[in-house]
Structure 1
Amino acid sequence: MGAWLERHFSWHGETSRDEYRRWLPLVIPVEILLLAGLWFYGHNGTIHFPSTLSGVSLLAVGFAYRIALFFLTARRFRSAGLSRGWLFIPFFTINIPVGSHFWSVGATITLLTILAGATVEDLREEERIY
């Protein structure tokens, strides 16, 4: 199990576009659920989890998912030659009021990084910078 985690979810190494796309059937529905939760249960652009067992469990699963997606996308950006600095923006809560609603910049950047990871081609071996 440790080798599997190291292969998919470590900061170092690379992930090809095809390997990244294999995770999209999991990532896309989870992101839709997160956006729906933000829309229906959010307050000022953030979701506040209750201090119950279910709330703490959802928070823990959400953190684990975000960390795994962060490392997977970081490896993908490395193999595509993109800056991994974009991956740190979603960790900040940046909410812009739009009328009576809020626009979550972090959620938007997360969706854009997933799109970039799924569509940008891999660098050829001779273009890689180590």
Structure 2
Amino acid sequence: MTLLICRTCPRYDSHDSGEFGRALAAAIAEHPGGAAVTVRKVQCLGGCPDDGVAAVDGPGKARVRFSRLDAGHAAAVIAAAAAHDACASGTPGDWQVPAELADRISSVTPKRGRDPAR
């Protein structure tokens, strides 16, 4: 399962830029369930100005982006990644979003099917 973590959050705070990504990745690595999650640090997930952005994603599945996270959300993020991974669509409602993250969903991007005629 893949978890995307913004490595520039908080992007507009030059002093702390990147701290969120380092802190969340470290908390996930230290968590007993963290080894099951593949973390990819990406340049930006487009959640500005609400920093603390991570997303669960997978081939053919909706990308679900969460904002306003911190390292204290590591367990909930791991649970979300596992639930998303087990779901065929990845669309919230088809899997149980951890309660701590339910009000932190900032976007859901469904995957478009490829047009075989193209």
Indicate the TM-score class for this superposition, using the shorter chain for normalisation.
Answer: under 0.3
Bigger relative contact order (CA 8 A; separation at least 6): 1
TM-score, reference length from structure 2 = 0.27
Rg (Cα) greater in structure: 1
Higher strand share: 2
